[in-house]
Amino acid sequence: IDGSYMARTTDYDVIILDHSLPGKNGVVVCEEIRAVGKAVPIIFLTVIGELHHKVDALERGADDYLTKPFSFEELRARVRALTRRPHKIEGIILRVGDLVLDAEKQTVTRGGIGIYLTRKEFNLLEYLMRNHGVVLSRGVIMEHVWNAEGDPFSNTIESHILNLRKKINIGRRKEMIHNVPGRGYMIDVA
Amino acid sequence: IDGSYMARTTDYDVIILDHSLPGKNGVVVCEEIRAVGKAVPIIFLTVIGELHHKVDALERGADDYLTKPFSFEELRARVRALTRRPHKIEGIILRVGDLVLDAEKQTVTRGGIGIYLTRKEFNLLEYLMRNHGVVLSRGVIMEHVWNAEGDPFSNTIESHILNLRKKINIGRRKEMIHNVPGRGYMIDVA
DNA sequence: ACGATTTTATCAAAATTTTATCGAATCTTT
DNA sequence: AAAGATTCGATAAAATTTTGATAAAATCGT
């Protein structure tokens, strides 16, 4: 009894295959599963640069592929996309310290406590968290969080940063949104 | 001016292409974008069942594909998955001994320990490191780090050099920023 | 080698720039 | 219209940059 046998006889929600499997080639397993008529979603893992493997896998019945290395979030996003179970499976989650942002559920918590953010605040925080540890200039933030170009003589960003900080720094926790004078803002644990 | 032109000349976060575009084939557009060296993530839209189009698109440089019909949630998940990984070309990193300056992330470390520098300090160090091993006169430094020309009767540069040295010579390491009397400054390991 | 002269190092205060803050005004969504 | 969100404008606060004065070091001519 091996993985291929299990896959052909059991009903899984999703099957993840690696190209290099002990004994068999992942693509062959993929083909075997399809041969018995199973319609289960299959995600194929490939090493970066091996495009022909991706193509091969897709031709033999894989539904999606993922290039290694990949984050767990990314894999989960693919699984979610394939299984389309909106309420049971978690969405894309960003974490910085005990601050957690769920991009799909559109929620933010800190240490388990729910935090309500307005739309702009949410988008701003999401962008900061998505690039945590790197300094983001006002220009870059303006470009990504506000679609059009904002005039540099406004302090809209500062204003939102202020509100974000107030909402996020519940209790008397350390500041997470750091200003780097002359360069921009950065979110980080320390 | 069409979409293909815009894609080749503008920096987008992500590009979504449909197989059937007015005038051109989406795959061709994809190829055109890659031809000019853009590394932007491209998501390709295909009609269900047309697997060969998927394969074709992946071969020509698309990063992901999506089968129509699809939910907006699904598209958003794909976009997030692609944009979260830094697709940018690796930032310019300067090294002199164990001193490391990342121009893109705007960070400086010495022996792995983070060092905070103000903007002028950072720019000054970057200029020195970019020309490590060569003596830079005050005039040249003034010209490159300070946009206009500063009056030669000020000791602004000395002042910043002093602060830089203090911050950089953590522990009791050897001095890196050397003065060459009458000629200027130079950074080097020895 | 020695004093005179020029150049560089150092420090703290002053000037400037940048950011934080808050309330009011404007815009959006019910 | 009402409630909430976003932006704007003015001012306070914080951080950076420049300045000025003096000490220390290096260079030069003798």
User: Are B119 and A74 in contact (CB < 8 Å)?
Assistant: no
A59 to chain B: closest CA residue: B51
The string of pLDDT tens digits covering residues B31-44 is: 787 777 677 778 87
Which position has the higher pLDDT, B127 or B10? B127
Is the predicted pLDDT of residue B91 greater than 60, yes or no?
A: no
Most confident of A64-73, A87-96, B113-122: B113-122
Query: Which of A51, A130, A135 is opposite residue B84, by nearest beta carbon?
Result: A130
- For residue B102, pLDDT over 50 is answered with yes
- A183/B106 CB distance under 8 A: yes
Average pLDDT over residues A22-46: 70
- Does the pLDDT of residue A101 top 80, yes or no? yes
Q: Tell me the pLDDT of chain B averaged across its residues.
A: 79
Q: In what side-by-side order are the strands of the sheet with B15-18?
A: B15-18, B42-47, B64-68
Residue B6 in this model has a pLDDT that exceeds 80 = no
Q: Which long-range contacts (CB under 8 A, 24 or more apart) does A16-19 make?
A: A16/A42, A16/A43, A16/A44, A16/A45, A16/A75, A17/A42, A17/A43, A17/A44, A17/A45, A17/A57, A17/A62, A18/A44, A18/A45, A19/A44, A19/A45, A19/A46, A19/A47, A19/A50, A19/A53, A19/A57
* List of chain B residues whose C-beta atoms are within 8 Å of the C-beta of residue A178: none
Q: How confident is the model at residue A154 (pLDDT cuts 50, 70, 90)?
A: confident
State whether B81 and A73 contact (CB < 8 Å): yes
Give the pLDDT confidence score for residue A32 in this predicted structure: 74
The residue whose CA lies nearest the C1' of nucleotide C21 is A162
Cβ burial of A153 (10 Å; 0-12, 13-18, 19+) is exposed
Nucleotides of D under 7 A from a protein CB: 4-10, 15-21, 26-28
- pLDDT class for A187, splitting at 50, 70, 90? very high
CB atoms A92 and B73 under 8 Å: no
Of residues A18 and B177, the one with the higher pLDDT is B177
In our burial notation (b when 16+ CB lie closer than 10 A, e otherwise), range B148-187 reads: eebeeeeeebeebbeebeebbeeeeeeebbeeeeeebbbb
Q: Which residue has the higher pLDDT, A133 or B119?
A: B119
Q: Which residue of A has its CA nearest to B117?
A: A180
Token pair in block for residue B36: 């000019």
Give the pLDDT band (50/70/90) at residue B90: very low
Nucleotides of C under 7 A from a protein CB: 7-12, 17-23
- Tokens 């033999």 sit on residue: A60
The more confidently predicted of residues B6 and B174 is B174
Q: Is B12 left (phi over 0), alpha (psi -120 to 50) or beta?
A: beta
